[in-house]
Structure 1
Amino acid sequence: MIKVSFCMDRGLRNYQEDCIYVDGEIIQTDYMDCPIEKAVDKLSALFAVCDGMGGLSHGDMASRFVCEKFRMMDIPFSKEGVIDALKKIQHDFESSGFIWSGTTVAGVYMNGKKGIIFNAGDSRVYKYTSERLIYLSHDHSYIQSLVDRGVISYEEAFYHPARHIVEFGIGDVFSQEWDLGKLPYVTEDVLSDDEVYLICSDGLSDYMTDREIHQYLYPDPFDNFKNLLNQLEKVKSDNYSIILVKS
């Protein structure tokens, strides 16, 4: 049994460019009565958040396109299976007729306590533990490249004015990077009984620090999800989408 709770909100934007994928269910709406909880009565399931690129064309359709492709796929539970699936989605996107469009994607493919974490772009996957929030995914962004090179710290990146510059994702705007062999970030993880995965678009991670997110979710993320959302309402601007997952 997999426990899931999720929320999405348009924020202060004129329209919703995020899309959520919850084990075959696709959600894309301006507002909802958050949070929504459900139980997935199966061992293996996939959960993802896609954030259509603001400033490009059809961001809402790009994010939904990826979620719809997930629903059509039977993905092997392996890092290679996830990478191959994302490669196919990119290939299909380039043949879709979308022009100058793109989206991020981040998610967790669960199988029991095991999770395959994946992302392309700056949507994120964290692991909540009783001590802290652990950043499991790896942004494809200009700021992350500065962190990787030791120019700035991970903590300083939160305040950097260029943190919105995304360098990779799904879409025709990223075709050159894919052609040059760049791949999504994929890693494996295992949940302990008291740990929870948190998947989100940058509408959360750009407006709250990891420490703040952990503080508002502590000591039980599912019980305190509403508390996090209430705090986010005070600082929100962008579309935001958040999924909590626990097996």
Structure 2
Amino acid sequence: MFKVLFCMDKGFRDYQQDCIYIDGEIFQLEYMKCPQERKINQKSAVFAVCDGMGGLSEGEKASSFVCRMLKKCGIPFSKDSIYRVLFRIQKKFESSGFVWSGTTVAGVVMNGFKGIIFNAGDSRVYKYTDERLIYLSHDHSYVQSLVDKGIISYQEAFYYPEKYIVEFGIGDLFSPDWKKGKKPYIVEDKLEENEAYLICTDGLSDYIPDSQIHYLLYPDPLKNFKRLIDQLDKVKSDNYSVILVKAC
């Protein structure tokens, strides 16, 4: 069983370009009474967020498309299956008629306390523990490439002026990268009893540092999720989508 809390808001943008996927349910609202809550009484489940990009409503359509494809395809619990599903979604996107658009995607495929984390772009998956917030996904972004090369630190990346440059995702924008063999980031993980996954678009991770996210959620992320959202509402600018998942 899984306890799930989630929230989304369009911030000060004209469009809600984020989309949330909660194991078969899709949400794309400008405003949402937060937090929303779900209890999923099954052993396996899939959770994801998408952050669309493109002119006018193309970003909104792109993120919604990927969430609808996640629902249609389903994802078996294996790293190879996740890659094949995401590759299939990319190919469907390329033939869908979208022009010059794309979306990030980040999520977790759960099987009991085991999780497989996946992402393409700069939407993120964290693991909340009593000690700290652990960054499990890996951004496909210009600033992350600087961190990987040792040019700046992970902490410095939060304040870097060009941290908004996304270098990979799903969509026709990223077709050349997929054709060159670039792949989503996929990694296995496992939750302990008091731990939880936090899945979010950059509307959270670009505005509140990891250490403060942990501080706001500590010592009980389910009870303190609203405290995180209340703080985010004070600093928000971009669309944001946040999911908290705890296995029981």
TM exceeding 0.5: yes
Q: In the alignment, residue 232 of structure 1 is paired with which amino acid?
A: L
Q: Deviations over 1:62-112 (max 9, x none)?
A: 000000001111322100000000000000000000000000000000000
TM-score, normalised to structure 2's length? 0.98
**Which residue of structure 2 lines up, in the alignment, with residue 53 of structure 1?**
53
Which amino acid letter does the alignment assign opposite residue 126 of structure 2? Answer: Y
Residue in structure 1 matched with residue 84 of structure 2 by the alignment: 84
Cα RMSD after superposing both structures? 0.9
CA distance in 1, matches of 2:59, 2:76: 28
How far apart are the structure 2 equivalents of 1:54 and 1:107?
21
* Partner residue in 1 for 2:199: 199
Q: Which residue does the alignment assign to 1:71?
A: 71
The residue aligned with 2:216 is 216
Q: How far 1:168 sits from its partner (Å)?
A: 0.1
Give the CA deviation at 1:56. 7.2
Instruction: Tell me how far 1:15 sits from its aligned partner.
Output: 1.3
Checking the alignment, whether the CA contact within 8 Å between 1:114 and 1:189 is kept in structure 2 is yes
Q: Are the counterparts in 2 of residues 62 and 102 from structure 1 also a CA contact under 8 Å?
A: yes
Moved more, 176-185 or 66-75: 66-75
**TM-score (structure 1 length as normaliser):** 0.99
Deviation at 1:54, TM superposition (A): 5.2
For structure 2, the 5+ residue unaligned runs are: none
Report the equivalent of 2:104: 104
Identify the range of structure 1 (102-111 vs 70-79) with the bigger mean alpha-carbon deviation: 70-79
Unpaired stretches in structure 1, ≥5 consecutive residues? none
State the partner residue of 1:158. 158
Q: Counterpart amino acid of 1:160?
A: Y
SS in 1 for 2:235: coil
What is the CA deviation profile of residues 114-169 of structure 1, one whole-angstrom value per residue up to 9, with x for unaligned ones? 00000000000000000100000000000000000000000000000000000000
Q: Which whole-Å deviations, capped at 9, do the CAs of 1:198-242 have from their partners, x for residues lacking one? A: 000000000000001001111111100111111111110000000
Which residue type is aligned with residue 143 of structure 2?
Answer: I
Q: How many residues align?
A: 247
Q: In the alignment, is the contact (CA less than 8 A) between 2:54 and 2:101 conserved in 1?
A: no
Identity %: 68
CA contact (8 A) 1:12 1:237 kept: yes
Question: Are 1:20 and 2:20 counterparts?
Answer: yes
Q: Distance in 2 between matches of 1:74 and 1:37?
A: 22
Aligned partner of 1:236 in structure 2 is 236
Question: Deviation above 2 Å: which 4+ runs of structure 1?
Answer: 54-57
Give the whole-Å Cα distance in 2 for the aligned partners of 1:120 and 1:56. 22
Equivalences for 1:118-157 in 2 at 5 Å? Answer: 118-157=118-157
Report the AA paired with residue 43 of structure 2.
L
Counterpart CA distance in 1 for 2:117 and 2:57 is 28
SS in 2 for 1:234: helix
Q: Secondary structure at the match of 1:163?
A: coil
Of 72-81 and 10-19, deviating more is: 72-81
CA contact (8 A) 2:75 2:109 kept: no
